[in-house]
Every structure is written in C-alpha cells, then in structure tokens.
Structure 1
C-alpha cells in the first residue's frame, strides 16, 4: 500500500513538472509587438533648367595703379621745403618732393657753361673772316646764351667745313659735357610725377642723403588695382573691360571695378592665371582686402544646387512615387557651397536638403514647401 502511494505521488510530481515546463515554453513564444514604420519628411524641389551665370570668386589686396619708389641718384644734404616730408603728406603734380643741397655742384656746372661760352666767343673773329655766311647765326646764339638758364642747343651745321672747324675747337664736346652736368644737376630736385600722397618716408630734413639710397614711396590714391589668381579653366573667358563687383570682408560696402589687364601666361606651379581689376573710390585705401565676383560665363540648360547634395558617384537623389532614387548628372562648375549641374530633366523632383542615412528605395514624404 505504501509503495502504491509513493508511486502515485511520483506520477503526480512528474505530471506537474511537465505541465510547468510547457507553460514556461509557451510564455517565451509570445509574438513580438510590431513597431510602426517611420516615414521621413523631406524638403523637395522641382527641377527647372535655366541659364546659370557662373560667377568666379576671387580676393586680394589693393595696390595703387600709379606708385613710385623714390631713390636718390646724387649725394647731399636734404633741404627743408614748404611741406614736411612725412607719410600722408599730399603733393600736386610738378611740386618738389625732395630738394638736395646742390650749391657745390651748381658752381661746377656754371664753370663748365662759362668755359663753353668763352670757347665760342674765342672763335667768333675766325668765323667773321673764314665763314662770313654762318657768322650771324653763331652771333645770335652767343647773344642768347644766359648762364642762369639751361644751355641752348647749338646751331645746325650747314657744311662739312663748318662742322670740322667747330668740332676741332672742342666746342661740341664742351657742349655735351655741359648738358651732361645739367642733367645730373636736375637730379638734386625730385618732383612729383603726378598728384598723390606720400605713403613712406625714410629720410628727414637735414639728413645726409647718399647715392642709391631709398627715400620713400609716392602713390596716386585715386586709382587702385587688385591682383587676383583665377583658375586656368577661365583663362579664355576673362575679357579686358569686363565689369566686376567687389565687396569688403563685412559685405557692408560694394564697389564697382573692371578687368584692366589679364596676364598672358599661366603659373606653372598653381595652374592659375593672374588678372588685374581696376577700381576707383574715395573711400579705398592701399592694402585694403576685397573680395571680387567675376562673371566668367553663362551655362545654358543647367541648375545650381548645394554641393552636399551631390554624391561621390556624380549622382543626386530624386523622389519618385515617395521613394528615393538616384539619377546621373554632369557637374560643370564647383564653388565653395554650390555646384552647377547638367543632364537633369525638367520636372524631376530632387531633394532640397540632404537626408541623413538616405538610400535608394527609402520611403519618404515630401513636405509642403509653402
């Protein structure tokens, strides 16, 4: 009897274990909850091919179109004038910039001129006797000879005999010696070649100036040029006289310029060509940094989009029946933020902003552009 009871308890225990195990297994096979599919909303745009104006950005510093570096060709003491030789000082055309003391050299010039005068006066009796037909013109020349003025040009020789006679007396060589001295005397005064302003002064009044010494810089502040480097791709597109818009760094001021010159050679290192933009404005200063926008060309049947929308394989995403797809395109120009594309059919719906994690076949929903 005891064995029967124990056997019955064992059977019940086994049955209970099987039932509990079955319940545990059934509880693990419950179906997982179905997650709701998220459809991203994207910004789109409809393609409409037009003529895109390609604008090439460039930048550089302004330099005066007319500038002169002042050097001394003679030696002497810098004499003070009506204006101080200081940066920022304005001078009119023909006004003396620098006057160097030339009293000693002036005396030697006057002595040479006096010797020339005496040499001509000494031959006048011989001219009266041997060359009476040319005596009058040499007499007129001698009468008009003024030591305080520039030496006048010698009379024209009318015959070989006259030429031999005048040259043999050393008058021609004396004349050119005087003209050489007068030419050097003019270098003691440096005058302004144009109306402008002194931007650099390296000497002061009273100081000793030596031959070959740099004295300063003088510019015309009314006209400036900016040198810019442009890709060789647009070397044939730039034309002299083409209008250019320039801006300062803050884009608070706009200036109008024009292409004044284009270099005929390409830099072998950078493969760029140098263009010079001329600009006039009273508010401009030398050394000012400006940005220029050059109208290089017009590309027909093209669109312009953000660069980050172009894939590495020269493709862009399009939206077709709320599904993302790609289409091949032809880039024709890249700027810092934009790219100009061709071969995109009109009416194609493209992305206006990049979508993170986008892939072909991805389901999207176009946002209301309004």
Structure 2
C-alpha cells in the first residue's frame, strides 16, 4: 500500500509541475519586435545629353604600306649591288638592289639587233626603186640606229602598200623579237622603286640565282598600315578617313592615324570586318604592336554611362522623389566598360553606380555628384537604419 501511495504522489507532483510550467509560459507577455526598414544611400548623376564620340578599341601589328617581295625572273650569278645587300640596308630610289651577270644574254640581244639592222639595209635598194617617196624616212631610221642603244620604234606606215611590203620582208617580226629580248634583259637588274629599307636578304654577292627564287623584301619605312578586326555589328559605324588614336604596348607613346580602307566582306571564321589604318611616324617599325581607338561616329543627344547600370531589357534606374523607377532607354554602342544610350530626358537623375538588390519603388537617400574613388560606397556606410514601432 505504501508503494502505491508513493507512486500516485509522484505522478501527481509531475503532472502538477507540467501544468504549472505551461501556465507560466502562457501567461508571459511576448514583446512586439520593432520593424526595421533599410534606406540605402546612392550616388546620382544629373543627365546632360551631348554629342558623344563612339570609340571602338582594336589592336594589331604594323605592316609597311608599300612593300616589295624581290623575286628573280631570270637565272645567273649575283654580280653587283649599290650597297651591301644585307638586312637593314637603306637604298635610295633608282639605286641598284641586285644586278645579275648578263654578259651572255646581252650578246644575244646585240646579235638580234644586228640582224634587224641587216634586214632593213637589205630592203633599202627596193625602197629606192619602188617607193622613192618613203625611202628618205627609212634612211633616217637606219642613220639613227645604234646597236648599243635601245631599238627605236619603226617608222609609221604611210600606206597599206608600204605596210604589206615591210611585213612581207619580216621586218616587224625581227623588230618585236628584239624588243622582247630587250625587255627580258632589263630583268637582270632590280632597282629600288622608292626610298626604303631591305628588311630581308636571302642572297649575297656571288650566289647563283635561279628563276623564281625569292631574293629578299624591301619596304618604305615612312608609311605603315595597321590591320584590325572589328565586330560586324559595328561595321556600319565606320567611315573612311575617320580619326584614329594609336597607343604602343607600354602606353608611353601616342600616334595619330586615319581609316584608310574598310574591307567589304566579313571573315566567316571570326565574324569581323578588316579595317586598315594608315599611320606615319619616324619612330614606328615594322611589326610593332599598337592599340587603336577608332572614332567611328558621333552620336547626337546621347550620354555615356557605366555598362552595369543597364539591364538585359535596356532599362536603367532613375530617382524621382527619393524613389527608384525604371526607365526604358535606347543603347547605341556597347564597349567593355561603357554604353552610349539615348532617350534619357535632360536633367534626369540617374544612378552613378549600381545598387545591389535595387528594384522599382525602392526608397533611397540621394547624394548628388559623381561617384568617384574618394567617395567609396561601402556597405557599412551605405545603409541607414530607422526603427519604426
């Protein structure tokens, strides 16, 4: 009986403790939590539409605008050059770059000239008898004929009868054979087409040169071209003659150039358009790497803003009475960091820096002026809390 009574008392005490604890918890008044509202501080800019130049960046290596690859069209031994035929050697216009030994070939040319002279001499008695009116003309031609000089043009025909007579004696055939040999003789000597520099030399004096053999490369070091690839989306913005600013790899030198040519076709592999920029400067060298900033066109009534401020639907945030609102704009050109847009009313307040978590209708505190590096917008300083019960 004692055990039963103790068990009953224990159960009653445990149940009473549970009920008492529940009563105390239910009777406790829970304080209402204060509502917290965050107001972010934002930097804004006042819109001032103006004429914005659209600058397209590109880069490439310089190539001489005027360049000649030297090839041999005849065979022989490299006999002479006005200067040492070496890489980096400068030549003046008209100076001999390469002269190939042509003694044997020149003798054959002289032989053909002598044959022509003899053929004309052979018809002179017939001309005196049958064509006395044209005889003096051909006699003057023979008198002026110098076998050591270039063959002069044949006299003009005065009649069809004269033409048939001269052609029938093979004079025209012999004349054009000589002219052909003379033209080929000129190929034994290669002269500088302009003032320039030899940038590649593949032969030296005494080398046996064969027909079709590459001898070197000659360029004009005064004028260069920079070939760059521009995305096809921006090809319609480019204009020939447009100004181009060029910067070297180290950023220490700047040059001025202009758009010289624009390719009419698009590279299928890269989907780019080749643009050729002409630049002149005495410090430039073949193969130099340059970065080009091409002034494609000027957009009226536009403004350039940070690219992060525009969303995928071409909207930006404007501030109206401390409330953010979306505004539809028209983007004209995207660069890596900036975007040129139109359609923003004059004097409108726009964000100067992207605000994380921004949405239309969001309340903000405005700080006027550009967001510069000396005015950082840190999260710890950009939020202001107000407690409203």
What interval of TM-score do these two structures reach, taking the shorter chain for normalisation?
A: 0.7 to 0.9
**TM alignment of 1:2-17, pairs within 5 A:** 17=17
Stretch moving more, 12-21 or 157-166 = 12-21
Tell whether the 8 Å contact from 2:79 to 2:100 is kept in structure 1 after alignment: yes
Q: Distance in 1 between matches of 2:261 and 2:54?
A: 21
Q: CA deviation at 1:277?
A: 2.0
Tell whether the 8 Å contact from 2:82 to 2:96 is kept in structure 1 after alignment: no
2:70 is matched with 70
Tell whether the 8 Å contact from 2:322 to 2:365 is kept in structure 1 after alignment: yes
Q: CA deviation at 1:162?
A: 3.0
Q: CA deviation at 1:100?
A: 0.7
Q: Distance in 2 between matches of 1:10 and 1:184?
A: 131
1:305-359 deviations in Å (ceiling 9; x for gaps): 1111111222222333333332222222211111122222233322111122333
* Aligned pairs, number: 366
| Aligned-CA RMSD value | 3.1
TM-score (norm 1): 0.86
1:120 is matched with 120
1:324 is matched with 324
2:161 is matched with 161
Partner SS for 2:134: helix
Stretch moving more, 140-149 or 118-127 = 118-127
1:200-241 deviations in Å (ceiling 9; x for gaps): 122222111111112121111111122233444554543333
1:246-273 deviations in Å (ceiling 9; x for gaps): 2223332222222223334455665544
Unaligned runs of 5+ in 2: 371-389
Q: CA deviation at 1:282?
A: 0.8
Q: Cα–Cα, structure 1 residues 163 and 32, in superposed 2: closer, same or farther, change >3 Å?
A: same
Partner SS for 1:225: strand
1:275-313 deviations in Å (ceiling 9; x for gaps): 322211111122222232333333233222111111122
Unaligned runs of 5+ in 1: none
Stretch moving more, 349-358 or 212-221 = 349-358
Q: Cα–Cα, structure 1 residues 349 and 28, in superposed 2: closer, same or farther, change >3 Å?
A: farther
Partner SS for 1:156: coil
2:294 is matched with 294
Q: Distance in 2 between matches of 1:323 and 1:23?
A: 49
Q: Cα–Cα, structure 1 residues 28 and 184, in superposed 2: closer, same or farther, change >3 Å?
A: farther
**TM alignment of 1:359-370, pairs within 5 A:** 359-367=359-367, 369=369
